[in-house]
Amino acid sequence: MLNVKKSWKHWQLLTEKGRHIWAFKSKSNNISQHLQHAEDISNEEIKQFVEDFKFDKFSNPNSGDKVFRHAAINSKFQAFAGKIPQSEDPEHQKVTNALINGMNYFTYLQSDEGHWPGDYGGPLFLLPGLLIASYISGTPFPKAHQEMMKIYLFNHQNKDAGWGMHIEGESTMFGTVMQYVSLRILGVDKNDERLIKARAWISDHGGAVGIPSWGKFYLSILNLYAWEGFNSLFPEMWLFPKWLPFHPWRYWCHSRMVYLPMAYCYAERIKIPENELILSLREEIYIEAFDAINWSKQRNTVCEKDAYTIPSPVLKWMNFFTNTYEKMQCPWIRKRALAYILKYLNAEDAQTDYINIGPVNKAINSICIWHAYGKDSVQFKKHVARWYDYLWVAEDGMKMSGYNGSQLWDTAFATRAMLESDLGKLFAGTIAKSYQFIDHSQIAVEHSTHAEFFRHPMIGSWPFSTAENGWPVADCTAEGLSATLAVHHSRLIVPLIDEARIKQAIDVILSYQNSDGGWATYELSRAPKWLEKLNPSEVFADIMIDYSWTECTAACVISLLEAREAYPDYKNSEIHRAIGAGLRFILEQQKGDGSWYGGWAVCFTYATWFGVEAISKAMGKGFYNDTVLAGSLKKACEFLVGKQKVDGGWGETFESCSKLVYTEAKKSQVVNTAWALLGLMAADFNDKILIEKGVNQLLSRQADIGDWSQESISGVFNYNCMITYSNYRNIFPIWALSRYYRRYVQE
Ligand code: LAN
């Protein structure tokens, strides 16, 4: 029924407790058995790959997760066979049918263990890191994987022959040099026409000396750049007294866990020996002769296409001191610093079962562990096995995901979306499976080394992906809790998550509240805001501290409101105070035009939905001054109404995130439309016709099978890098239609 390409069928997604592995012509459904077998691929099959994974980036750079979806749907799909409630109003009936259709389709994508696997690609600087780890350690990926990676990299080459930071971005030096080098590592000839053009892009923009610092790091590892041209990472800072406001334990955990292995590589000046490829690359990516480059002068050279965060004078001073210290550092202190860093790296590996907190430290930790213990060590082999957890196959090839998945997050949203109206109860089996996944994903134990390595207490929390990843997140805990309560409230299933565990989750959420009343991501804000002045990344903003965010705060406030209703006797006054302070934070973040800026998805419609949802849920319950709350909702609705497009939908581009101003998309987007509708309906906006115009857009964009097409990219991090949430195109339209159904159709 669907157009499945021949070689797509050879790729099969294996899942186990939320773990994802794409297997080529697998002989086993078992992940660990599969990983032990080499895969065979013929030249014919490689040719077929090139044919079957042709992808037209210029019509839409976002792939639609077709390989996974077609496999999940193809043979088994059936239209909903149950009894569909009937309305007298034909317009209402259309909504009912579309909602059932949408949910029915979506249930086919659910894995046996209850979550919704999906494409979590988008950034283009991740796969190169993993390829460098595999190259330096002499641990190549199987041929089939390598071919698929090549296809992906070429598929995302821009018209000007360069590559962006992410699939929708304009070309940058970081994107272009990293993909170029990756393709060469994968064996593409330098005379390939696409590479000749890419080289021209690089030289027209000043050559690879202008690659930002994270790129300088990777090139140094490859012996394509001199460590001398890299600002010191001052490994000794890990030995600083902990009370110092700039001790790295206070950094945002992602920065901390990336700069940690980077500091190890820097201290050890890890680099691959010269070889033919490296010598050739040195000639390919620079304008000047490699040996003639004055490296120490390149430390702060950044191509203007890449410069997003301008280094502060404080950072420049700090670099001056640390670079000077580097020339006369004391070997025994360095040794101590390195021993500490290695101990910390091992702890992170053990705490996450070698998944690591994210895709960047996954690659760099692998390099450190290979360097410290060797290719044949148990530790390194464990790393290699987890490389596959980050790889994803879609119709644009094989990419590296931005995390080991978005399992818990999507499952919690999907569950809440479906249970928003009674129609969700028609899919009791699906809800039972997602509840089981949510149950298994709640973190039950603390690591023995959690305090030693600055981890936030996590018993009762939920992670973003899987329990094995084991990094708790404040708003993921909130979503996990809200979804749990929604399932309990539906009475569809006998509760597995008991009162004690719900209380643990509430405690975790309370423990995550910052003194500004808001909630951050993984930890409390641990350092003063001026620490941001030391952000050395050039391409990201606000990476130094875990800041409070509107969305995270709203999610926590909402879950506390729900928990308080279900368990009114538990910590009543403490929760009351927490909600009040959370609301104050949300109100403070609201902009003059009534919107909120979203830090984790595109963008103002996303955060405005969150802000409105929290405020409207709190209205009339004595947590805050209701007149103030009503005023805020009114302004938010005015904002949303003002952004509705003539077709009735809403649409923003990723530039809203990087430019911090609402940037309207040419075409309305189902995901933005759904967020705006959810916000308006939550706020009880009284113009039903306006809401119906939006709903009609969702209906008109729905495919017969119940799916929606993949439009523009939805997710973001650190303002400047975009990330794919492939399940959002189903979850949010379903949620908006459920809400419409509950408000206007349900008896
Ligand atoms: C994520 C994904 C989920 C996201 C939400 C839960 C949606 C958000 O509300 C809080 C922040 C969080 C947990 C988040 C933080 C940053 C992440 C981990 C990511 C966007 C996924 C990938 C990204 C990570 C930092 C990518 C690696 C890049 C570096 C700059 C280290």
Structure confidence by residue, pLDDT tens digits, 295-346: 999 999 999 999 999 999 999 999 999 999 999 989 999 999 999 999 999 9
Q: Which residues line ligand 1 at a C-beta cut-off of 6 Å?
A: 254, 258, 358-360, 402-403, 409, 464, 473, 475-476, 521, 540, 551-552, 600, 717-718, 723
Could you tell me the two tokens for 645?
């497009």
Hey, whose CA ends up nearest to atom 31 of ligand 1? Answer: 254
Looking at residue 492, its pLDDT comes to: 94
Handedness of CA 448, 449, 450, 452 (dihedral sign): positive
Gap between the Cα atoms of 712 and 665, Å rounded: 9
What integer is the mean pLDDT of 357-383? 98
Amino acid at 311: P
What integer is the mean pLDDT of 49-57? 96
CA of 401 to the centre of ligand 1 (A): 12
pLDDT of 40 > 90? The answer is no
CATH domain 407-745 topology: Glycosyltransferase (1.50.10)
Hey, whose CA ends up nearest to atom 24 of ligand 1? Answer: 358
CA of 67 to the centre of ligand 1 (A): 25
Atom of ligand 1 nearest to the CA of 715: 20
* Probe residue for ligand 1, chosen from 403, 411, 596 as the CB with the greatest number of ligand atoms within 8 Å: 403
**What would be the CATH architecture of the domain defined by 126-400?**
Alpha/alpha barrel (1.50)
Hey, whose CA ends up nearest to atom 3 of ligand 1? Answer: 464
* Probe residue for ligand 1, chosen from 218, 362, 600 as the CB with the greatest number of ligand atoms within 8 Å: 600
Q: What is the pLDDT of residues 357-368, one digit of tens each?
A: 999 999 999 999
Looking at residue 2, its pLDDT comes to: 59
Looking at residue 37, its pLDDT comes to: 66
Give catalytic residue positions: 475
**pTM: predicted TM-score of the whole model, two decimal places:** 0.97
* Probe residue for ligand 1, chosen from 519, 521, 722 as the CB with the greatest number of ligand atoms within 8 Å: 521
Q: Are 637 and 615 in contact (CB under 8 A)?
A: no
Q: What percent of the chain has pLDDT over 70?
A: 99
Cis bond upstream, residue 721 (ω within 30): no
Please state the domain extents for the chain: 6-94, 126-400, 407-745
Number of neighbours of residue 393 by Cβ within 10 angstroms: 27
Q: What is the pLDDT of residues 504-523, one digit of tens each?
A: 999 999 999 999 999 999 99
Q: Measure the CA angle with vertex 74, ends 700 and 147; round to 5°.
A: 105
Looking at residue 28, its pLDDT comes to: 76
Atom of ligand 1 nearest to the CA of 479: 6
Amino acid at 553: T
Looking at residue 627, its pLDDT comes to: 96
Smallest CA-to-CA distance from 719 within 664, 653, 654 is with: 654
Burial code of 615-625, b = ≥16 C-beta within 10 A, e = fewer? bbbbeeeebbe
Atom of ligand 1 nearest to the CA of 402: 22
Hey, whose CA ends up nearest to atom 22 of ligand 1? Answer: 402
User: Which residue do the tokens 């926590």 mark?
Assistant: 556
* Probe residue for ligand 1, chosen from 119, 120, 464, 465 as the CB with the greatest number of ligand atoms within 8 Å: 464
Smallest CA-to-CA distance from 510 within 539, 538, 481, 541 is with: 481
CA of 682 to the centre of ligand 1 (A): 27
CA terminus-to-terminus distance, the chain:
37
Q: What is the pLDDT of residues 469-486, one digit of tens each?
A: 999 999 999 999 999 999
Hey, whose CA ends up nearest to atom 5 of ligand 1? Answer: 600
* Probe residue for ligand 1, chosen from 125, 218, 260, 473 as the CB with the greatest number of ligand atoms within 8 Å: 473
User: Which residue do the tokens 């809401």 mark?
Assistant: 691
Looking at residue 673, its pLDDT comes to: 98
Hey, whose CA ends up nearest to atom 28 of ligand 1? Answer: 360
Looking at residue 4, its pLDDT comes to: 84
Residue 711's pLDDT band (cuts 50, 70, 90)? very high
Gap between the Cα atoms of 486 and 739, Å rounded: 14
Looking at residue 38, its pLDDT comes to: 63
Looking at residue 695, its pLDDT comes to: 98
CA of 358 to the centre of ligand 1 (A): 8
Looking at residue 489, its pLDDT comes to: 96
Q: What is the pLDDT of residues 415-471, one digit of tens each?
A: 999 999 999 999 999 999 999 999 999 999 999 999 999 999 999 999 999 999 999
Q: Are 423 and 98 in contact (CB under 8 A)?
A: no
Smallest CA-to-CA distance from 475 within 502, 513, 437, 446 is with: 513
What integer is the mean pLDDT of 12-25? 93
CA of 121 to the centre of ligand 1 (A): 12
Looking at residue 680, its pLDDT comes to: 98
| Exposed/middle/buried for residue 598 (C-beta within 10 Å: 0-12, 13-18, 19+) | buried
3-state helix, strand, coil in the chain (%, to 5): 55, 5, 40
CA of 468 to the centre of ligand 1 (A): 17
Atom of ligand 1 nearest to the CA of 257: 31
Q: What percent of the chain has pLDDT over 90?
A: 96
Looking at residue 36, its pLDDT comes to: 66
Hey, whose CA ends up nearest to atom 7 of ligand 1? Answer: 600
Q: What is the DSSP letter of 684?
A: T
Hey, whose CA ends up nearest to atom 12 of ligand 1? Answer: 521
Q: What is the DSSP letter of 741?
A: I
CA of 502 to the centre of ligand 1 (A): 25
pLDDT of 129 > 60? The answer is yes
Q: Measure the CA angle with vertex 246, ends 243 and 249; round to 5°.
A: 70
Q: What integer best gives the mean pLDDT of the chain?
A: 96
CA of 717 to the centre of ligand 1 (A): 6
Q: What is the DSSP letter of 141?
A: P
CA of 432 to the centre of ligand 1 (A): 28
CA of 268 to the centre of ligand 1 (A): 29
Residue 677's pLDDT band (cuts 50, 70, 90)? very high
Residue 31's pLDDT band (cuts 50, 70, 90)? confident
Whole-number Cα distances in Å, 484 to 250, 487, 517: 32, 5, 25
CA of 466 to the centre of ligand 1 (A): 14
Phi/psi at 472 (5° precision):
-75, 145
Hey, whose CA ends up nearest to atom 8 of ligand 1? Answer: 600
pLDDT of 32 > 80? The answer is no
Atom of ligand 1 nearest to the CA of 543: 30
Hey, whose CA ends up nearest to atom 10 of ligand 1? Answer: 521
pLDDT of 84 > 80? The answer is yes
Atom of ligand 1 nearest to the CA of 476: 6
Q: Are 371 and 270 in contact (CB under 8 A)?
A: yes
Fold match, 126-400 / 407-745: yes
Atom of ligand 1 nearest to the CA of 716: 20
Atom of ligand 1 nearest to the CA of 361: 31
Gap between the Cα atoms of 211 and 172, Å rounded: 9
Looking at residue 584, its pLDDT comes to: 98
Q: What is the pLDDT of residues 171-217, one digit of tens each?
A: 999 999 999 999 999 999 999 999 999 999 999 999 999 999 999 99
Hey, whose CA ends up nearest to atom 16 of ligand 1? Answer: 717
Could you tell me the two tokens for 670?
């189902």
Q: What is the pLDDT of residues 254-273, one digit of tens each?
A: 999 999 999 999 999 999 99
